Structure 1
Amino acid sequence: MTPEVKTLVDRMQAFYEKTGDFKAGFKQDYKYKAFRRTQTSTGTVTYKKPGLMRWEYENPSKRTFVLAGNKVYMHDPEAQTLSVAAMDTSKLSASVTFLFGQGKLADEFAISKGECKDCKGTLLVLDPLKEEPRFRQVRLEVDPATAQVLKSTVVDPDGSENTIAFLNLKTNVGIAADSFKLNPPEGTRVDDFTKKAQ
């Protein structure tokens, strides 16, 4: 890691360590390598320490994902279902947990500066130091002025790419814990896989 890259990574980690909560719009582009097509989704993402995260998908269909502690909730209003599954956050990669102010990227990745003509910020390329079955590479586009992540791309083992651009990020705005509670309408079927796993 060059001194320039290390300085930016340290600033980026410090930014998220100081962030108590954040809210942003997002645009997600999932490029399926095998099918040579891209699926685009948009919505909002909300986060509050420690470990509360809500992804509200608006397009192309409404869905809500909430990560709360060691559980993840998925509400699909069209299907009228609410799924609950266990999530071991201790096994999450640093490529995710650094957003929570946890996990050190340099402990898990070789980090270098990448070339990117269309990037608004500095492109950091993260290659796993150990065999990683979940993904091949992570790329982070970072604003050099603020050290915020503007865009993150995870390259799957098959070469498919999941890119999320964060839009109008606002930090430490005082988000209430109640914002992460799901209140599905009456008649919603609840599938609690955490009980079945016990």
Structure 2
Amino acid sequence: MRILSKAVLSGVMVISCALVNAGGLDTLQKFNSDTDGISGQFTQIVHSKKRTQTTSGTFAIQRPGLFRWEYTQPYKQTIVGDGKIVWLYDQDLAQVTKRSQNQTIGDSPAAILSNKSALNANYSLADDGQKDGIHYIQAKPKRSNTGYQNIRIGFRGDNLANMQLKDSFGNLTTITFTQINTQPKFDRSIFKFTPPKGVDVLSQ
């Protein structure tokens, strides 16, 4: 399977932290309490021991619990969370995978989408210095079995710049955000998914 699904569901979340006139940790906390929707574009780079994979696309998030993550390059893949089910549609494989949203995101970073209390309940947060004009916040999971060593969220001024996720195998995923909109007006239908005719649908 392509290196993405886990990074996305991780990413689908803390991804949302672009805004307000505060620094670092305060900005993240204010986002968590105040922000209900966010959209934009992303470039995702996954560094593993064997290879580096770069993908890009667009995303949309609406709290509570709705998200859509569209990969457009170098292949097309869609991940939709409708509040109950996470749908993953791979166009090249003509295959859809469906999973329970609660079981899929658990207490991963994606859970921040569905539950505003998840940030402080599941992570220990701390400012993590600055580099190249970006201020970082580190989120370390309070539980040891989440699959992630740590997450770093970067802001350039008041704007979300990137997110870095290091998993338990040492793989590093960096997501760079552009064209951020923290006051999107969504058509709720974008958070619904109907499998196209003729594709295989797998339940997990």
State the TM bucket, normalised to the shorter chain: 0.7 to 0.9
Q: What is the TM-score normalised by the length of structure 2?
A: 0.77
- Show structure 1 runs of 5+ residues with no match: 1-5, 194-198
Q: Counterparts in 2 of 1:115-134, with a 5 A limit?
A: 115-118=129-132, 120-134=133-147
The reply to whether residue 52 of structure 1 matches residue 63 of structure 2 is no
Mapped pair 1:69 → 2:80: no
Partner SS, residue 152 of structure 1: strand
SS in 2 for 1:10: helix
Structure 1 segments (4+ residues) deviating >4 Å: none
Name the CA shift for 1:11/1:104 in 2 (closer, same or farther; >3 Å).
Answer: farther
Residues 1:40 and 2:51 are matched in the alignment: no
Correspondence for 2:18: none
In structure 2, the partner of 1:179 is: 190
Deviation at 1:68, TM superposition (A): 1.5
Q: Distance in 2 between matches of 1:72 and 1:63?
A: 13
Query: In the TM superposition, what is the alpha-carbon distance from 1:106 to its structure 2 partner?
Result: 4.4
1:166 pairs with one of 173, 177, 201 = 177
**1:138 and 1:191 mapped to 2: Cα distance?**
30
Deviation at 1:104, TM superposition (A): 5.3
- The superposition leaves residues 27-81 of structure 1 with CA deviations (integer Å, 9 ceiling, x where unpaired) of 111110x21x210110001111221100000011100001121311011111111
Work out which of the two has the higher radius of gyration on C-alpha atoms and give 1 or 2. 1
**1:8 corresponding residue in structure 2:** 24
CA–CA distance in structure 1, aligned partners of residues 74 and 97 of structure 2: 20
Which shifted more, 43-52 or 6-15? 6-15
Asked if 1:92 is matched to 2:107, the reply is yes
8 A contact 1:141–1:152 mirrored in 2: yes
**Partner secondary structure for residue 182 of structure 1:** coil
Residue of structure 2 equivalent to 1:113: 127
CA distance in 2, matches of 1:189, 1:31: 30
Identity of aligned residues (%): 25
Q: What is the TM-score with the length of structure 1 in the denominator?
A: 0.79
Deviation at 1:162, TM superposition (A): 1.4
Q: Secondary structure of 1:69's match?
A: coil
Q: Could you give the per-residue CA deviations for residues 128-178 of structure 1, whole angstroms, max 9, x where no partner exists?
A: 344244111111102343xx5321111111111112122111022210110
Distance 2:37 2:201 in 1: 29
User: Aligned pair in 2 of structure 1 residues 99, 152: CA closer, same or farther (>3 Å)?
Assistant: farther
Q: Give the match's secondary structure for 2:110.
A: helix
1:29 to 27, 40, 45: 45
Alpha-carbon separation, structure 1, partners of 2:30 and 2:111 = 13
1:79 correspondence with 2:106: no
Q: Aligned letter for 1:173?
A: P
51 and 13 in structure 1: CA distance in 2 versus 1, 3 angstrom threshold = same
Say whether the 8 Å CA contact 2:65–2:113 is kept in structure 1.
Answer: no
Supply the RMSD in Å over aligned alpha carbons.
2.5
